[in-house]
Structure 1
Amino acid sequence: MKNLNAIGLDTEKSNALAEKLNELLANYSIFYQNVRGYHWNIRGEKFFELHLKFEELYNDLLLKIDEIAERILTLGHSPNHSYSGYKKISEIKESSQVSDGLEAVNDILNSFKIIISFQRELLSLSADTNDEGTNALMSDYIRAQEKLVWMYSAYLQR
Structure 2
Amino acid sequence: MSKLNSIGLDEQLAKELAEKLNDLLANYSIFYMNTRGYHWNISGDKFFELHLKFEELYNNLVLKIDEVAERVLTLAHTPMHSYADYLATSNIASVKNVTEGKVAIQHILDAFTVIITKQRDLLELSAKANDEGTNALMSDYIREQEKLVWMYRAYLGK
Question: TM-score normalised to the size of structure 2?
Answer: 0.99
Q: How much has 1:24 moved relative to structure 2? A: 0.1
SS in 1 for 2:98: coil
Distance 1:11 1:98 in 2: 43
Identity %: 66
Q: CA deviation at 1:96?
A: 1.7
* CA shift for structure 1 position 2: 6.8
Partner of 2:78: helix, strand, or coil? coil
Stretches of 4+ moved more than 6 A in 1? none
- Tell me how many residue pairs correspond in the alignment: 158
- Which residue number in structure 1 is paired with residue 30 of structure 2? 30
The gaps in structure 1 that reach 5 residues or longer are none
C-alpha distance in structure 2 between counterparts of 1:108 and 1:23, whole Å: 18
Partners of 1:46 and 1:60 in 2: how far apart?
Answer: 21
Could you tell me how far apart the structure 1 residues matched to 2:66 and 2:149 are?
Answer: 22
- CA RMSD between the two structures: 0.8
Quote the Cα distance in structure 2 between the aligned partners of 1:113 and 1:2. Answer: 35
Q: Which runs of 5+ in 2 are unaligned?
A: none
Q: Which amino acid aligns with 2:63?
A: L
Equivalent position amino acid for 2:80 in 1: N
Q: Distance in 2 between matches of 1:20 and 1:97?
A: 30
Aligned twin of 2:141: 141
1:55 and 2:52 correspond: no
Cα distance in 2 for residues equivalent to 1:52 and 1:37: 13
TM-score, length of structure 1 as denominator length: 0.99
1:66-81 paired onto structure 2 within 5 Å: 66-81=66-81
